[in-house]
Amino acid sequence: MAEKVTIRACPYCGSMDTHPALLFGGPLPWVDHNDGGYVCRNCGRTAVPLDFDTLDELKAFQRSLAGNEDDASRSFYHVPILPVDTFTLFRVPVIDLPVGQIADVTEAEWRNGRLEPVGQKAKFNRYWRAVDSPRYSAKEIALWDLSGIRDGHPNFEVLKKLVRSRYQVWLDLGMRSVQDVFDSFTMDVSRGLIGTLTAPDLELFEEAFELTDRAVPCIHYDRKVLWPSRRSGPDKLEKAVAELVDIGYEEIGVIDLPRLGKRNGPDADMLARLERLDAKFIVGGGITETDVDRLRSAGMRGAFMDPFTPVIGDLLEEEERTVPSESFTTTKRPTASGRPAPAD
């Protein structure tokens, strides 16, 4: 079997002209020290390069960079939700293919107080190709680690491979601590999603805001704001928004969990309440492509699109007809494990 070659490129400009950054002057002044960073000779910036499995992936990344608009000038976010149940991958043996050909994007619904994988599934790479195709042209995706959100056990090994091969990933790994915030951004995500469903209190949102301007708070809503406990934060929508705005957040996600996966549009009453509030909202839960104009007209900042909308379903069928089925072989190895959730 031919040796697999990993293609590395700068996360800022997409150039392959990256080289280890060397530090001078240590215990032996004449010895160079590699600190693990890389310098791009094209743009001059220092960063950990992104890894790509094929030139096609690199070219797609470079196209996304060329077409990427400045966030401040964006009029509307259009972010497909990709729920991945990484728990099942903890027990998978070593696979002789990229994780994107093994991990499943699944439908997800709010059942009995939990986000559960249900219904349709598609391999991550197939789903990505569908939403990245010229007919859909998503500039970012929302990757949800269902194991992390539900149980506090994100699968970092899988997430790193999915995130580092894709551009503009908004990651929800079920943040419960500042360490989770750090872990998200060490994976080169575009945005880190912090949900009220997992955040122990408002202090986590405050700490994240101090650490980065790329954190997006997400209010999980089911007739009230959902928190891990009654003491975690306010359950009234307007009060929760006011608290996040006071911290300094301008863009806030709102996920109507009972509507998630139903593809029946936004709740009219919730949308009317959001219109009266002074923040830029990215609305999710039941949203399909036919709802985008309505959300724009209501002054929303963007939409989290339900998994497997009719348009995405058509693109998946079309992609399946044109791309051969993916197969793989495995070899045994010790079972992987995730980092346990922080103690209460």
- Residue 26 and residue 103 in one domain: no
pLDDT digits (tens, 9 = 90+) for 120-173: 999 998 998 899 888 888 889 999 999 999 989 888 888 888 886 556 899 999
Q: What is the pTM of this model?
A: 0.74
Residues 115 and 143 in one domain: yes
- Alpha helix (H) residue ranges in 189-264: 202-211, 237-247
Both 91 and 37 in one domain: the answer is: no
Judge whether 258 lies within some domain: yes
The answer to whether residues 26 and 174 belong to one domain is no
What's the number of domains the chain is made of?
2
* Token pair for 31: 């010895």
H/E run at residue 18: strand 18-24
**Residues 111 and 146: beta-carbon distance below 8 Å:** no
Taking only the tens place, the pLDDT of each residue in 261-316 is 999 999 999 999 999 999 999 999 999 999 999 999 999 999 999 999 999 999 99
CA dihedral 289, 123, 132, 320 (to 10 degrees): -90
In a domain, 153, yes or no: yes
CATH code, domain carrying 94:
3.20.20.70
CA 64, CA 6: separation in Å to the nearest integer?
A: 20
User: Residue 330: pLDDT band by 50, 70, 90 thresholds?
Assistant: very low
Asked if residue 201 belongs to a domain, the reply is: yes
Do 113 and 127 lie in a common domain? yes
Planar angle of CA 320, 265, 240, nearest 5 degrees: 120
Which residue, 41, 36, 45, is CA-closest to 17? 41
Q: Are 302 and 175 within one domain?
A: yes
Same domain? 19 vs 151: no
Contact 113, 52 (CB under 8 A): no
Q: pLDDT-derived band of residue 3, with 50, 70 and 90 as boundaries?
A: low
Higher per-residue pLDDT: 254 or 24: 254
Per-residue pLDDT at 231 exceeds 60? yes
Is there a domain that residue 343 lies in? Answer: no
63 and 87: one domain? no
What is residue 99's predicted lDDT score, i.e. its pLDDT? 73
The span from the CA of 33 to the CA of 341, in Å, is 35
Q: Is the residue at 28 inside a domain? A: yes
Q: Which of 136, 174, 146, 125 is nearest to 261 (CA)?
A: 146
Residues 18, 159 within the same domain: no
Per-residue confidence at 28, pLDDT binned at 50, 70, 90?
Answer: very low
Residue 313 lies in a domain: yes
Query: 79 with 185, same domain?
Result: yes
Residues of the domain holding 19: 7-67
Evaluate whether residue 121 is within a structural domain.
yes
Looking at the domain assignment, is residue 339 inside a domain?
no
CB 157 within 8 A of CB 144: no
Based on the domain organization, do 55 and 160 belong to the same domain? no
Q: In the structure, what pLDDT confidence band is assigned to residue 45 with cuts at 50, 70 and 90?
A: confident
CA distance 34 to 338: 29
Question: CA-CA distance, 265 to 104, in Å (whole number)?
Answer: 25
| One domain, residues 39 and 179 | no
